[in-house]
Amino acid sequence: MTPAHLDRTPLTLVTGLDRTVSARIAHALAAPGTAIVSHDLRDVGRGRVTRSVHRIDLDGHDRFSLDDVELEHGCVSCTLRLDLLPLLRVLHREPGVARIVVALDPVVEPENVALEVRQTVVDVPGLAPAAAGDDVSLTHTVCGVDAGRWLDEATGDITLAEAGLSVDEDERTVAQVAVGQVRFADTVIVERADSTGGAWNLARLHAVLVRLAPGAGMRTLNSLQRLDTALMAGALGSGTRHSPHGVPRRPFDPLLAGRPDLDGDCGVELITVEAARPFHPERLHLALDALLDGVVTAQGRLWIAANPDDVLWLESAGGALGIRRVGRWLAASPEGTADPEHRAMAALHWDDVYGDRHSSVTVLCHRAAPDQIRAAFDDALVTDAELALGPDFLANLPSPFGTEHRDPCDDFESTDRSVQVDQTEGEDR
């Protein structure tokens, strides 16, 4: 019997902040038997999306369709669930389609698409309800990077709405999307390498990219070089098995997956912060400022004294940062279910008193001083004197962290933890 995944149609995502670069990459992926899909979301706020489908038949003949899609609710999620996911299921059943390429709009994060493909059940006339992942297999994500602009975009704090890329209600920053697109890539195509202002700036950009996506293949082109099918094929084959290959991250996956370089280069350095005692919530809140300037991105698991049973996930990009609850420590729910990766991580950090509770954060610096970041986190840990006061004292420390928090934020005033989530949710970061 043929394995089920071999019956699925291979799916490639093309992502990036520059839609022109994404279009060139998609064109370089065109081959007989390919369907190339794109959705232009620039008018999504008014409930209208322009969808294009370019089919290259097995005999090499081209067919192109352009349609306006009307949505009841104008948002990215509605576009995926009401149009793209059903379309993937339909294209899978077209006899001339051997591969699907989806060129994502600049505001779409590929990891979210991967989750939707895997999990979201959609209805298609004439078919039983199912997830698109039953029909297509996301095998590759290609990210296009404009060398002259990307690092500034990935380290700023402007929102997508302020940049004119999305609707006013979209509070995500350009940096969040830029970092997420590269991090989920299996191949990175760097274009306009001659627009960085010099060899050192290009080397610094490369130092960031290879630490952000260490398992990805990479090709760098200047303005006179053409991205063609042969070059694209070589780029797709240059990655490693350590890149995502369509698999979304989980909170207990290794933070240094892909074996990134931990040595500094052009002022860029990837550092780790580990702690075997909890953070004091108010001091940690102050320490987070160290991550909002001169840092490309930070991510990791936090143990906070006022949330002793909760695993909190920190993630930053440029000048924006978020913290959210992603589960419970095994020591707090020993009878609960956990995947093997979670249990393996717990075993590495197990303590006779605190169990698997610990903090582990990676920080990708490009201007910030690593020693200052480490010192800020060290100063935020609870002291021996505070530990001696016992778990009840620690659990009742005033805290700005509920189940979700974003920075920068207004000064924290309330010590009533029952209202913290309402105070932090929906803040414009």
pLDDT tens per residue across span 305-359: 999 999 999 999 999 999 999 999 999 987 767 778 888 888 888 999 999 999 9
Report the number of secondary-structure helices (H) and strands (E) in the chain: 14, 16
Of residues 13, 217, 23, the one with CA closest to residue 115: 13
Residue scoring higher pLDDT (44 or 261): 261
The pTM (predicted TM-score) of the whole model is 0.91
CATH (one of 3.40.50.300, 3.30.930.10, 3.90.550.10, 3.40.50.720) for 4-236: 3.40.50.300
Q: Is 379 helix (H, G, I), strand (E, B) or coil?
A: helix
* Residue 123: pLDDT band with limits 50, 70, 90: very high
Could you tell me the residue ranges of all domains in the chain?
A: 4-236, 269-424
Summarised one tens digit per residue, pLDDT across range 263-285 is 999 999 999 999 999 999 999 99
pLDDT cut 90: percent of the chain above it: 79
Summarised one tens digit per residue, pLDDT across range 369-425 is 999 999 999 999 999 999 999 999 999 999 998 767 777 664 433 333 222 222 233
Q: Please indicate whether the domains covering 4-236 and 269-424 agree at the CATH topology level.
A: no
Mean pLDDT of 72-76: 75
DSSP for 77-143 reads HHHIIIIIHHHHHHHHT-TT-SEEEEE--TT--HHHHHHHHHH-EE--TTS--EEGGGTEEEEEEEE
- In degrees and rounded to multiples of 5, residue 215 shows phi and psi of -90, -5
pLDDT cut 70: percent of the chain above it: 92
Q: Is the dihedral of CA 31, 32, 33, 35 positive or negative?
A: positive
Q: What CATH class is the domain 269-424?
A: alpha beta
Q: Is 56 helix (H, G, I), strand (E, B) or coil?
A: strand
